[in-house]
Amino acid sequence: MSIFRTTIYRMNRPAGSGNDRNARSGELTRLGGMRSRLAAGQARCTPEEQLFDSLMEQYHYLRYEQPVGEHLKYLVKADGQAIGCLAWQSAPRHLKVRDRYIEWSDEARERNVHLLAYNTRFLILPWVRVEHLAWHILGRVTKLVPQDWQRLYAHPIYWLETFLDPARFSGTCYRAANWQVIGTTMGRGHRAPTLEPTRPVKQMLGLPLPPQVPEVAGCMKRHMKYPRMDVNLEELDQIIDRGTHAPLSESEGEKLKRVLHALAGMLPAPRTTENTKNVLE
């Protein structure tokens, strides 16, 4: 039976696509209003699904994987041409890293795990080189996921999660979009025959979405010193530019302070050093 399933899976792999491969490069804020020309749409059960599947198959290092259970597929376009894809599906029921971080009981997990979604794939097409684009796309799509999940599956999503291979990626775009590193895997599968690592060790990241179930809300209050904030680079640039000519307002100063604290929280080195003190003084 397993051989039969594998054969069918390989026969049904998505075919290649003729998507526009014109190189795109530059900075997101200086590409002639590219922000306003970006569109992210849910592609599952639409004419765009075949294009989504083929792009994942051709350009993601893990290739296309048939989703299991509830899932969403987002195709991101600029000026009508595909530039990226994101895949989401139901979160795994048992994850020690997540369950330990949220600190919920077995009963709470069984009651709430369907309210969690797992980002299984994130792809920016290789000929697209735009500074800050990944962060911007991720922030935009994470706002769409709970809306589309509610529409398609008739229940909300309160928590998003994903895995990151630190040997391949730094995860900067996730951290810039307010995702938190919540732990590290042991490098063993769910049914690993031994205690020895059998696959790459990965970081796990999570993002709570308001409103939150009590178990998740309590966890985030304990783990996050600063509340989640929405700020884009254009707004931040404007605040900094104004600060060079006149004193910032109290609200602008507080927002800039929170952004700097969030950036400092991403640094792997100790936050208090002589160099830091010299800069601040």
**Given its phi and psi angles, is residue 96 left (phi above 0), alpha (psi -120 to 50 degrees) or beta?**
alpha
Which is it for strands 128-131 and 24-27: parallel, antiparallel or unpaired?
Answer: parallel
pLDDT for 69-115, tens place per residue?
Answer: 899 999 999 888 899 999 999 999 888 889 888 888 888 888 889 99
> Are residues 243 and 162 both part of a single domain?
no
Residue 277 lies in a domain: no
Do 246 and 218 share a structural domain? no
- Report the DSSP beta bridge partners of residue 130: 26
Domain that residue 252 falls in: 229-268
Q: Are residues 156 and 220 in the same domain?
A: yes
Residue 279 resides in a domain: no
Give the residues across from 84 on adjacent strands: 76, 124
**Residue 3 domain flag:** no
Tokens matching residue 245: 């000519």
Q: How many domains does the chain have?
A: 2
Condensed to tens digits (0 to 9), the pLDDT of residues 152-204 reads 999 999 999 999 998 888 899 999 898 999 998 876 665 555 556 567 888 99
DSSP three-state, residue 91: coil
CA distance 108 to 27: 44
Residue 194 lies in a domain: no
Residue 276 confidence (pLDDT) above 50: no
Q: CATH code at 139?
A: 3.40.630.30
Is 33 inside any structural domain?
yes
Same domain, residue pair 144 and 218? yes
Shared domain for 221 and 237, answered yes or no, is: no
Share of the chain above pLDDT 70, in %: 66
**274 found inside a domain:** no
- Both 169 and 234 in a single domain? no
- The answer to whether residues 152 and 208 belong to one domain is yes
Residues 131 and 55 in one domain: yes
Co-location of 182 and 257 in the same domain: no
> What's the pLDDT tens digit per position in 29-71?
444 455 566 788 888 888 999 999 999 999 999 999 888 889 9
Going by pLDDT thresholds of 50, 70 and 90, the confidence category of residue 10 is: very low
Q: From CA 146, how far away is CA 169, in angstroms rounded?
A: 26
Same domain assignment for residues 117 and 33: yes
In a domain, 2, yes or no: no
149 and 249 within one domain: no
44 and 182 belong to one structural domain: yes
